[in-house]
Structure 1
Amino acid sequence: MTFYKKLSPFYNLIVFYCIISFLLRIVLLFHPITQSSFTILECLKIFGLGFISDLFTFIVASVFLWLYLIFISNSKYNTPSGYIILAVFVALFLYIASGKSIFDEYGGALPRIILIFVGIKTVLFALLLFLPKLRDKIRYWLFVFVIFLYVLLILQNGISEYFFWNEFGVKYNFIAVNYLIYTNEVIGNIMQSYPVIPIFSALFLVTAIFTYFIVKRSGNYIDAIPSVTDKLKITGVYVVLFMISLAAIPTLAKTENSRNVFVNELQSTGLYKFYLAFENNKLDYFKFYKTLPAEKAFNILKRQLPGISGENTKRTITSDSLENHKNVVLITIESLSAEYMKMYGNKENITPFLDSLAQKSLQFTNLYAAGNRTVRGLEAVTLCLPPTAGESVLKREDNKNKFSTGSIFKQRGYNVKFMYGGDAFFDNMQDFYSGNGYDIVDKSSFSAEEVTFENVWGVCDEDMYNKAIKVMNAEAKENKPFFNHIMTVSNHRPFTYPNNKIDIPGDIKSRDGGVKYTDYSLKKFFAMASKQPWFKNTVFVIVADHCASSAGKTQLPLDKYRIPAFVYDPNAKPKKYNQLMSQIDLMPTLFGLLHFSYKSKFFGQDVLKPDYKQRAFIATYQDLGLIKDNVLTILSPKQQVKQFKLKPEPKDGIAPDYQIDYNEKCMKTERTDLVNETISFYQTASDMLKKKKYQK
C-alpha cells in the first residue's frame, strides 16, 4: 500500500468537508438575507481564502480521527497485554459505576455519559480480544461508524450554519454558544419551528450514502493495517500539518477585513467562528439589537438619572449627613431563589435563620436578579450596571479598572477583599476582582487544617466563614474599615456538605439540603461574628446571586429572577421596602444608608431617595428585559422587541409583598415609551463599556 493510500480516510473526508463548505457558501451567497453585491475580487476572497481556511480547520478537527486510526492494531490483543488492557477497562468501568468517582462531583448527566462510553469501549475490546475470527468484521463496522459520524457532523454543521444564517445573516457567534447553554429551550424551539423528522430522515439517508462511497475509497486502511513505522510517518505528517493549521487559521481570520460585512462572514469558517465565540463571549448590541440615536438614548436615560449630562452617566451623589465609615460585609449566596424562604411561601422550613434575620433587617421584598448565572450577580453588585448582551463583563478581556463598589470603598481607605471558597480562577473571578483593586482570599489561601470538607466547587460554607472571621479579626487590628465580599458555594450541585450538621444528610445530594446547610452555615457565621469587637460597627448585606433555575414557560419568567435581599445593621431598626427594584440598586442604596457623597457612574440608584423611579432589569445572554409599570419589555437579537402585560397570580397564605408569580400576556399594542426606555438603558450601558467610559 502506497503512503498516499494510507492517508485515504483523512484525504477523502477533507475533500468531502471542503465540497460541503463550498456549496454552503454558494447557497448563502444567493440567500435572500444576503442583501449585497460582490466584486470578482471579493468572490475570489470568499471562495479562495475560505477554502484554505476550511482546509486547515478540518485538519485540526480531525485530531480524533487520527487518534482512532493510529491505535488500530492487532498486537494489543496478544497475551498478556490484551488481558491487562481489558482488566484496566473493567476496573475503570466499576470505579465510575460505583457512584463515587470524580465525575459524580459534577452531577448531571456527565457520570452516565462517561460510564456508557467506557462501557462500550470495554465490551468492544472484549469482543475483539475473545473473538479473533470476527475481529476483522467488527473492526470494519467500527470503521464505518467512525466515518459515518464524521460525515454526519459535517452535514449537520452545514445545515446548522444555513439555519443560523437564515435567522441572523451571519456565521456562528455567541448566540450559537448560548444555544448550547439553553439546550431545553433551543431543542423545543427547533421541534416547533422546523419539520425535524423529515429533515433528520433525509440527513441520515444522505449520510449513509456518502459514508458508503468514502468507506469504499478508504477501506484499504483497515484491510492492511499500517505498521508501526508507517503510523509514525502518518503521525509526523499530521503533527506538522496540525501545528501549521493552528498558526494559519487565526492568520487567515485577520484577512476578514472587508468593509462589506457579508464578505467577511462568507469568507469565514463556521467552526472557527464558533470557537471564537467561546473565546470572546461577545454579542455586539449595536449590530443585533434595536437602537436609538445616541443623543436621544442618553436624553431618555437622564429622566432616570437626573444630574447626568452628555453621553455618559457621570453625576454627583451628595448626602446631607456625615459619612459613616462602618465595616461592610456583602454576602452573595449561591442560587438562593426567593421561593426557598418562608415569607415567599416555602413550607419546608429550610431557611429558618434567614427568615429570622430578615425580620431584624431592612428587607427589600421586590428585588430582581439581573441574570441567571453567578457572574451576572457578581457583576450586578460590583459594577451596578444593567446586564449587557453576550457574556458578563467578568469574563471579557476588558474587565479591569472599572468603576465599581470596591473603588468607592477604596477611596475612603477601606481594605477591600473578595472571598470565595473555591478556586477564584473559575468564571474569571480572580482576573476580574484583582484587576479592580480587590485582594483575593480563595481556596488557595486555606491551610490544610482550615479545610474540614470540600467538593468540586471548593470548601464548605462553614470553612469559608471560619476563614472570613480570621481575616476580619486581622483587618480590625489595622484600624481601617473593611469591605469584604463573600461568595458562597455550598448551595450548588452536587449539594454535598458535612454530615450531622442539619437533619438532611449531606451525602444524599439534596437541593433542599444545600439550601438548609447554607442557612445553617450563615447562622454559625453570625454567631461567631457577634462575639467580635468589630461586629456592632459592621453592616451586613445579604443577597442571592441568582435563582436556582431560569427555565420557565416564557422568555423571561419573573418568578425565576425574584431573589431575597436585606441589609442587617445591629444598631438599626428593622424596616421593609416593598417597591420594585433591581439587583444593581443594592449597593448604591447601601452607600445612601452610609451617607456617602461621591462621584458616580453607576446605573444603579439609591431606591430610598424620593426621586427613584421603580424599574428592574432581568436578562439572559441575549434577551434583555425591563420591568416597569406592570409591563415586561424584552429586546432580542435581530432588532426584535416584545412586550408582556404582567398580572399577579396570588397564592393563598402569602402576603401581597411576597407574591412572586405573574401571568405574562403578550401585548398587541406597543408601549413605545417603555420600548425606548428599555433601549436607552441597554444601549447606553453597552456604549459606556464599548467606549471605555465605565473606567474608574
Structure 2
Amino acid sequence: MDMKKKKQVGLRNPLYLIECRFLKLYLVLGFLLRIVLMLTSPADASFTIGETIRLLGVGIFSDFGMGILLFIPLQIFYLGLNEWKYNRVAGWVIEVLIASALIYVCCFHSIFDEYGGGAPKIAKIFIGWKLLSFTLRFLIPKIREAWRRVTLYTTWGVYVFLFLCVTAGEIIFWQEFGVRYNFIAVDYLVYTHEVIGNIMESYSIVPLLLLIVLLTVGIILWDSRKRRFRLTNLYTPRLLAVHLAIYAAFAVCSYFILWGTHSMQSDNQYVTQLEQNGACDFVIAFQSNKLEYDKFYPMLPKQQAISMYYKEAELNADGSKTIGDSFTTRRPNIVLITVESLSADFLTRYGNKQQLTPELDRLMRKGLVFDRLYAAGNRTVRGLEALSLCVPPSAGESIIKRKANRMGSLSVGSVLGRLGYRCQFLYGGDSYFDNMGDFFSHNGYEVIDRNDIASKDITFANIWGVCDEDIFKKSLETFDANTRDGRPFFAQIMTTSNHRPYTYPAGRVKVKGDPNTRDAAVKYTDYAIGKFIRDAARKSWFNNTVFIVIADHCASSAGKTSLPIDRYHIPCIVYAPAIVKPQKVEKVCSQIDVMPTILSLLRLKSRVRFTGQDILSPTFRSRAFMATYQDLGYLEGNRLTVLSPVRVVRQYSVRPLADGTYDEQPVSRPDNHLVRKAQACYQYVNLYLKAQ
C-alpha cells in the first residue's frame, strides 16, 4: 500500500503541469531577456533607476498576460486527452472521418489547393499521420499509455524549444533593429527563403539550435524529476468544464493586461520597447500592418487638408504642377543608384574616421551634394516609394507592397516615359521580394533582376542576390543596349551587398579582422560604385548621363525617440562632370525631393503631382518627412512633429549636438501650425492621392 502511495506522489493533471511549468519558465526567461537586451542596447541607450524598475516590472505583467494566452493550443490539445474516443462506435466514426478527409485532400481539388504553396502537401502529411496514429491506438490498446506519455512530453518539449528559439530570435532582432518584433518581422515571415538563408549565412545557427535542443532536454529532465504527468482518468465532463471556465477567465484578464501594458508609452523609446512582450508585438504588427488612416490618425476637415497640402506641395487647383522650364532636344540619361543601408555617418564627410568610402568621398568633391537630406523611412521599400512616387510615406504598409499599388501617371517612371525615356529598375536579387517587381512593372518601369543575369556572369552571390559588381556589370550592358536603340534611359539600380550577412567577393577590399561586418560591406559597396563609375566613364553615353547615388535608408533607425533624426540622415550625390557643377547644399530636404530636383535641374519640363519639390529653387521650403510603420514625422525648423495611431500628436524641440546626433525633447506647447502641416500632408497622401 505504501508503495502505491509513493508511486502516486508527484502525479499531476498534465494540462495544469505544463501550464505552470511553462509560465514559470516564461516569466524567468522573459526577465533575463530584458536584462540581456538592456546590456546589448544601441550606444545611445541609457536607463535611469526608475526606468529600469519600470520596464522590468511592467515587463513581468506583459509576459504573464502573453504566457496565459499562449496556452490556447493546450486547451485544444487537452480536449483530445480522453478515453471515450476509443469506444467501439466512436472509434470507427473517427476512423471514417479521418479517412474521408485524407481521400478528399489526396484525390480531389481541395481548399488547400486553392490556398496554394505548400499547404496541400502539409495537409496530406498531417491528415495521413493522424489516420495512422489513431488507427494504431484504436486497434492496439496496449500502446495507448506509452503513446500518451510520448505525446505529452513532446508537447512540453515543443513549447520549451519554440520559446527558447523565439528568445534567441529576439536578441538577434534587437541587435539588428534596436526594437522588439514589429512589422519587419511580419514581412520577413512572408519571405522565408531569403530570411532563413540570410540567418543561416549570418549566424552560427546549427550550434545555436543544438544548444537550444540540449537546454530543452535539460529543462524537461530537471522539471520531471519529482513531478510526472498522470496518463489515465484525466478528467470528467464536469472537471473539464471547470478547467475551461477558469482558463477563459484568466485569458480575458490577460487580454486587458496586454492592452494596458502595450498602451503605456515612455519618453525613452527603449523603455517602451523593453517593457513590452515581443510575441505580443508580433501579433499586433501582423494584425495592423494596414492602418485605416482616418480611424487611427488625427484628422483635419477634408477640404482644409487638401487646400493646405496643395499649398505645401505647390500644386495647382487641379492637383498638379509643372517642373522644368523647357523641353530641350538634349535629354540626358539618368542613373539612380539606391544603396542598401548607407547611413551618412559611414562617410568621411560626415565625421567617419575609418576611411570606409574613399570612392564616394571622391565623387562628393566633384558633384552636387545635399548635406542635410533625410530618408523617408527605415526599410528599402520606403526608400523606393519615396524616390519613385515623390510623396510622404504611407501609414502602415508601403504603397509598393499593397495590392492597390498601380499609381498610373504618379510615378517617376511614368513621367519620364512620357518624355520618351526608357525606364528600368535593376535589382541584384529576386524582384518578387517586397513586391518590387509587381510595383515597378506596373508603374512605368521594365524590371531586370537576378533571373535576367546568366549564371556564367555571376561572380558572387548570397541569399539576397548577386554582388554589387555583378548588378553594375549587368547595368552597363543594359545601358549599351539602350544607347544602340537611340532612346534616352532612366535606370534605378538597387544594390544588395551592404546587408547582413555582409558577404562579397574576396580580395576586393582590405579589411582588418572579420571581413563579414557592416563596415567591411560598406567598404566593398563603395569599391563597387567607384568601379562602376570608372567603367561607365569609358562609354560613349557617359558625358550625357547624370548619376545619383543615394541610400534607401540608414543602417539602423533605433533611438531613444521613435524618430531619432540622425538615424534618417543619408548621403545624396549628383555626379555628372559634363552637366552638373560641383556644389554643396545645406538645406534640410527629403528623399521625396530628389527626383523633382533632377527633373528641374535637367530642364525636363514635366507635369507632375509630386509632393516633392526642387531643392535648388529659391522658393523651396526646408522640411523633411520621416516615418516608421506607425509614427509619421514632419521636421521643419527646430520642431519635429510626430503623428501616431489612436490620434496621438507629439512634438519635439530639436537641437543638434556636437557629435552629429540630435537632442529631441518633448514640448508642452506644440506649434499648431506645424501640426496642421503634418496632418494635411499625411492625410492627403493616405486618403485622397489617387482620387484627385
Q: TM-score, normalised by structure 1?
A: 0.65
Match of 2:573 in 1: 566
The answer (yes or no) to whether the contact 1:495–1:506 under 8 Å persists in 2 is no
Match of 1:676 in 2: 676
The answer (yes or no) to whether the contact 2:509–2:523 under 8 Å persists in 1 is yes
Pairing partner for 2:645 from 610, 632, 637: 637
> Aligned partners of 2:247 and 2:214: how far apart in 1?
23
Match of 2:202 in 1: 107
Q: Secondary structure at the match of 2:366?
A: coil
Between 330-339 and 438-447, report the one with greater CA deviation.
438-447
Matched, 1:517 2:486: no
1:634-687 Cα shifts (integer Å, max 9, x gaps): 111111111111112124xxxxxxxx4221122122211111111111111112
1:272-296 Cα shifts (integer Å, max 9, x gaps): x987963883111211111110111
Match of 1:373 in 2: 379
Matched, 1:575 2:661: no
Match of 1:297 in 2: 305
> Aligned partners of 1:107 and 1:151: how far apart in 2?
46
What letter corresponds to residue 256 of structure 2 in structure 1?
A: Y
Q: Secondary structure at the match of 1:359?
A: helix
Q: Secondary structure at the match of 1:328?
A: strand
Q: TM-score, normalised by structure 2?
A: 0.66
Q: Secondary structure at the match of 1:354?
A: helix
Pairing partner for 2:536 from 529, 533, 536: 529
What letter corresponds to residue 505 of structure 2 in structure 1?
A: P
The alpha-carbon distance between structure 1 residues 274 and 357, as it changes in their structure 2 partners (threshold 3 A), is closer
After TM superposition, give the deviation of residue 160 of structure 1 in Å. Answer: 6.0
Q: Secondary structure at the match of 1:495?
A: coil
Matched, 1:188 2:274: yes
Match of 1:408 in 2: 415
The answer (yes or no) to whether the contact 1:324–1:595 under 8 Å persists in 2 is no
> Aligned partners of 1:64 and 1:508: how far apart in 2?
51
> Aligned partners of 2:247 and 2:392: how far apart in 1?
38
Aligned residues: CA RMSD: 4.5
1:170-209 Cα shifts (integer Å, max 9, x gaps): xxxxx9xxxxxx9966542449xxxx9xxxxxxxxxxxxx
Matched, 1:441 2:452: no
Pairing partner for 2:635 from 624, 627, 632: 627
1:516-538 Cα shifts (integer Å, max 9, x gaps): 00001111111111111111111
Unaligned runs of 5+ in 2: 1-12, 19-70, 81-125, 135-143, 150-195, 235-243
The alpha-carbon distance between structure 1 residues 668 and 328, as it changes in their structure 2 partners (threshold 3 A), is same
Matched, 1:386 2:388: no
After TM superposition, give the deviation of residue 60 of structure 1 in Å. Answer: 12
Pairing partner for 2:608 from 597, 600, 605: 600
What letter corresponds to residue 428 of structure 1 in structure 2?
A: N
The alpha-carbon distance between structure 1 residues 58 and 593, as it changes in their structure 2 partners (threshold 3 A), is same
What letter corresponds to residue 539 of structure 1 in structure 2?
A: V
What letter corresponds to residue 641 of structure 1 in structure 2?
A: V
Pairing partner for 2:339 from 330, 333, 350: 333
Match of 1:541 in 2: 548
Q: Secondary structure at the match of 1:350?
A: coil
**Where do residues 2-17 of structure 1 align in structure 2 (5 Å cutoff)?**
none
The alpha-carbon distance between structure 1 residues 74 and 399, as it changes in their structure 2 partners (threshold 3 A), is same
What letter corresponds to residue 321 of structure 2 in structure 1?
A: R
**Where do residues 40-55 of structure 1 align in structure 2 (5 Å cutoff)?**
none
What letter corresponds to residue 672 of structure 2 in structure 1?
A: T
Match of 2:463 in 1: 456
Aligned residues: 516
Matched, 1:500 2:507: yes
The answer (yes or no) to whether the contact 2:375–2:554 under 8 Å persists in 1 is yes
After TM superposition, give the deviation of residue 314 of structure 1 in Å. Answer: 2.1
> Aligned partners of 1:327 and 1:62: how far apart in 2?
62
After TM superposition, give the deviation of residue 431 of structure 1 in Å. Answer: 1.4
Residue identity over aligned pairs, in percent, reads: 40
What letter corresponds to residue 311 of structure 2 in structure 1?
A: R
The alpha-carbon distance between structure 1 residues 532 and 300, as it changes in their structure 2 partners (threshold 3 A), is same
The answer (yes or no) to whether the contact 1:367–1:581 under 8 Å persists in 2 is yes
The alpha-carbon distance between structure 1 residues 315 and 458, as it changes in their structure 2 partners (threshold 3 A), is same
> Aligned partners of 1:489 and 1:538: how far apart in 2?
23
> Aligned partners of 1:623 and 1:425: how far apart in 2?
27
What letter corresponds to residue 202 of structure 2 in structure 1?
A: G
Q: Secondary structure at the match of 1:515?
A: helix
> Aligned partners of 2:245 and 2:543: how far apart in 1?
68
1:219-250 Cα shifts (integer Å, max 9, x gaps): xxxxxxxxxxxxxxxxxxxxxxxxxxxxxxxx
> Aligned partners of 1:73 and 1:413: how far apart in 2?
76
The answer (yes or no) to whether the contact 1:280–1:396 under 8 Å persists in 2 is no
Unaligned runs of 5+ in 1: 1-7, 14-56, 78-100, 129-133, 145-149, 170-174, 176-181, 197-269, 652-659
> Aligned partners of 1:73 and 1:505: how far apart in 2?
60
The alpha-carbon distance between structure 1 residues 559 and 163, as it changes in their structure 2 partners (threshold 3 A), is same
Match of 1:693 in 2: 691
The answer (yes or no) to whether the contact 1:382–1:404 under 8 Å persists in 2 is yes
> Aligned partners of 1:61 and 1:337: how far apart in 2?
48
The alpha-carbon distance between structure 1 residues 64 and 342, as it changes in their structure 2 partners (threshold 3 A), is farther
Match of 1:650 in 2: 658
Match of 1:491 in 2: 498
1:288-311 Cα shifts (integer Å, max 9, x gaps): 11111011112222332334226x
Q: Secondary structure at the match of 1:468?
A: helix
Q: Secondary structure at the match of 2:522?
A: helix
1:615-638 Cα shifts (integer Å, max 9, x gaps): 101111111111102111111111
**Where do residues 276-315 of structure 1 align in structure 2 (5 Å cutoff)?**
278=286, 281-309=289-317, 313-315=319-321
> Aligned partners of 1:633 and 1:515: how far apart in 2?
32
> Aligned partners of 2:447 and 2:524: how far apart in 1?
25
The answer (yes or no) to whether the contact 1:104–1:111 under 8 Å persists in 2 is no
Pairing partner for 1:342 from 334, 340, 348: 348
> Aligned partners of 1:588 and 1:567: how far apart in 2?
13
Pairing partner for 1:364 from 361, 365, 370: 370
The alpha-carbon distance between structure 1 residues 558 and 74, as it changes in their structure 2 partners (threshold 3 A), is same
After TM superposition, give the deviation of residue 109 of structure 1 in Å. Answer: 8.7
The alpha-carbon distance between structure 1 residues 372 and 435, as it changes in their structure 2 partners (threshold 3 A), is same
The answer (yes or no) to whether the contact 1:318–1:598 under 8 Å persists in 2 is yes
